[in-house]
Amino acid sequence: RALHASSLKLAPKRKPANHFQPRASTFKVAVLGAAGGIGQPLALLIKMSPLVSSLHLYDIANVKGVAADLSHCNTPSKVLDFTGPSEFANCLKGVDVVVIPAGVPRKPGMTRDDLFNINASIVKTLVEAIAVHCPDAFILIISNPVNSTVPIAAEVLKQKGVYDPKKLFGVTTLDVVRANTFVATKKNLKLIDVDVPVIGGHAGITILPLLSKVRPSVHFTDGEVQELTARIQNAGTEVVEAKAGAGSATLSMAYAAARFVESSLRALDGDNDVYECSYVPSELTDLPFFASRVKLGKNGVEAFVSSDVQGLSEFETKALDALKPELKASIEKGVSFAQKQA
C-alpha cells in the first residue's frame, strides 16, 4: 500500500466538510533549495502526498541525485530535477505551490538576522523568477530571517506588478508544532488534541505562543507560562546549539513545512475548513506583516482569525507590545533592501 501524507497525519485534524471530495494527484509543487538539509526530507514528505502530480526539485548543486533517489518511491507524483538559472524557468512553469528553503542556516552564536546578507539576495533572485514564471502560485518562504525575507518577497512582487498578498506566506508552522509538543508534554495531554496558536513573527521574542488560547482549554501557572514561552521562543537556538555548527532544524522543519504544503493543497482542492498560522501581509495590527491563524482557500488567505489579537492575557498583551519594535525593524530592513536593489 502506498504511503500517503494523510495517513501519517501530517496535516492537522479537521472536521469533515460536507461537499469536500479530495481528488487525487492534481497539483504541481516546486521546492527551491531541494538538495539541502530541509529540502531533502521536505521533498520526501511531499512525494508522499496523494494531491501532488509533479514535484519539481531545484537547487544550485546536487539536485540530480536527490531527484533520482526520490523518483524510485512508488507514490503517484513525478519527480523532475532542475539546476542553475538556465533550467529555473522550466522548474517554475505551471507550478501551484512554490516552497523556498534555499539559503544558509545559523551556526551557534548567530541570530537569524545574521543570515540577512546572504539570504536576502537569494530570496530576492528566486522571487523575481517566480514573478515571471508562476505569478499565481502560493509562495511559501522558509529561508531566514523570515521576518525580513517575506517583506522582501512582497516588495519584489510589487515591483514586478504581480503582488497578491493573499498568496504570500512565511512558514511559521514549526513554532506551532513545537508549541503543541512542549505544551502536551508539560500537561500530559494527548498530542493529537493540542493546538497552540503562535502569533507575531519568527525570531526570538517576536514568536508569541498564545497559551491563554490553547485547545483543549488548560490552565497554566504564571511560572509555566514564562517557562513554556521562553522554550518555544528559543527552540530554534536549542537545535542550533545541539547541532554544534552542523546547521539548524531540518527534520522537524521539513515535517512542519510538509504540513503547511498539504494544507495549501487541500485549500486549493476546495476543502473549506483549512486553518494554519502563518506570517503574512496583515491588517490585524499596526504592522504590515504579522503571523496569526488564517483560513486558507483556493485563492490563498480567505480570512484572518482576528480573535488571535483580542482578549489576550496580561502577559501576552505585554509580550505583543514588546515584540512590535523588533518586528517592525525587521520588516523595514527587508523592504528597504528590496527597494534599494530595484
DSSP bridge partners of 99? 31, 140
Q: Residue 115's Cα: distance from chain center in Å?
A: 17
Site string for ligand NAD, 250-269 (x = CB under 6 A): x--x----------------
Cis, peptide link before residue 145, omega less than 30° from 0: yes
* DSSP at 7: G
Nearest distance, CB of residue 202 and ligand LMR, angstroms: 6
Does the annotation mark 56 as catalytic?
A: no
Among 204, 247, 270, 288, binds ligand NAD (CB under 6 A): 247
Among 31, 46, 95, 239, binds ligand LMR (CB under 6 A): 239
Tell me which of 4, 19, 202, 219 is the catalytic residue. Answer: 202
- Does 201 bind ligand NAD (CB under 6 A)? Our answer is no
Measured CA to CA, the distance from residue 210 to residue 208 in angstroms comes to 6
Q: Segment 143-182, which members bind ligand LMR (CB under 6 A)?
A: 144, 174
Residue 30 touches which of ligand NAD, ligand LMR, none (Cβ within 5-8 Å per kind): none
Pick the piece of the chain touching ligand NAD (CB under 6 A) from 45-53, 54-62, 89-97, 188-196. Answer: 54-62
- Only one residue has cell 521536505, namely 42
Report how far apart, in Å, the C-alpha atoms of 178 and of each of 5, 174, 255, 290, 313 are. 19, 6, 11, 19, 21
* DSSP at 13: P
Measured CA to CA, the distance from residue 28 to residue 32 in angstroms comes to 13
* Residues with active-site annotation: 202
Residues of the shown chain interacting with ligand NAD in the complex, contacts defined by CB under 6 A: 32-33, 35-39, 58-61, 101-106, 115, 119, 122, 125-126, 142-144, 146, 171, 174, 202, 247-250, 253
